Structure 1
């Protein structure tokens, strides 16, 4: 096991889930393929996330689906973070009919002093910083609930 693999394993092992906690999650497509550059595929992922929210596992605060990754700000409810993200990744890959995601994901549990609105704005501004659009309103694959 390389140092990098060992560090990633330790991070996953140390991950904790807490009901009510707000997390920022980032997950990347397999080989960073731009599968979500396809409008229908991006909408499929969004629909999968929205359907899952209806079961009460989480509340989505904001997200942006980029061509090769997802940024997602959520408040965890009665679910483990790993199980939630794994389920979204599995369901979306099944709906697409092929492997879709790299293993694992990055998460950050927000601290009390962090400004949720600033983080949400940072997340939804990703298409601007990536040069995909000149106005965030022109990018179709994001949403936010302002607290």
Structure 2
């Protein structure tokens, strides 16, 4: 197996389903599924996620303790994050997990002015209301989604190589061997 340094210019990764338009908001329910997520801040110019990484990690850690799931990959960028989770057998409730993570993170932030619509819904206005998810149905899909997480900081010009980005599970999972 060859080991190459992956850069924005030579990465071969594309996710064929990632550019598809989001369908309706009825979430599929596959217990024990492996799922790729994109979760985004309401303000796409914000750096809140990386600036407040400790609060995000605490929210994820506590939620994971109460409602277990396996983190296969995770990358946090300033205004959005991508991750791949595997839910426990018999469990398909990732929506509640995301709701709890977002709420805990939001409550950890200092109070800020909010729109009336956010107050009425008891929201802080930090997050986009929805998230994007894709169920991974094969090992090839799962591998592609994990690599997409890792290359994303390079794609956005935030790092020269995936391993240069501090907020990535690539550091937990060791060196990457690209074909």
Same fold per superposition (TM over 0.5):
yes
Spell out, residue by residue over 1:31-89, the C-alpha distance to the aligned partner (whole angstroms, 9 max, x if none).
Answer: 21221242xx0232123212322234311111101110011110122351211111111
Give 5+ residue unaligned stretches, structure 2.
1-20, 112-123, 174-179
Q: Point out the structure with the larger helix share.
A: 1
| TM-score, with length taken from structure 1 | 0.80
State how far apart, in whole Å, the 1-side matches of 2:108 and 2:139 are: 38
Q: Name which one, 1 or 2, has greater alpha-carbon Rg.
A: 2
Instruction: Give yes or no for the alignment of 1:84 onto 2:103.
Output: no
Q: Point out the structure with the larger strand share.
A: 1
Structure 1 contact 24–73 (Cα < 8 Å) conserved:
yes
Tell me the C-alpha RMSD between the 2 structures.
Answer: 2.2
Give 5+ residue unaligned stretches, structure 1.
1-6
Q: Which has the higher contact order (CA 8 A, sep 6+)?
A: 2
Structure 2 contact 33–92 (Cα < 8 Å) conserved:
no
State how far apart, in whole Å, the 2-side matches of 1:70 and 1:127 are: 10
Spell out, residue by residue over 1:8-50, the C-alpha distance to the aligned partner (whole angstroms, 9 max, x if none).
Answer: 7x722x2023321011111110121221242xx0232123212
State the match for 1:45 in structure 2. Answer: 56
Instruction: Give yes or no for the alignment of 1:129 onto 2:155.
Output: yes
Mark the CA change 1:109 to 1:37 in structure 2 (over 3 Å): closer, same or farther.
same
**SS of residue matched to 2:43:** helix
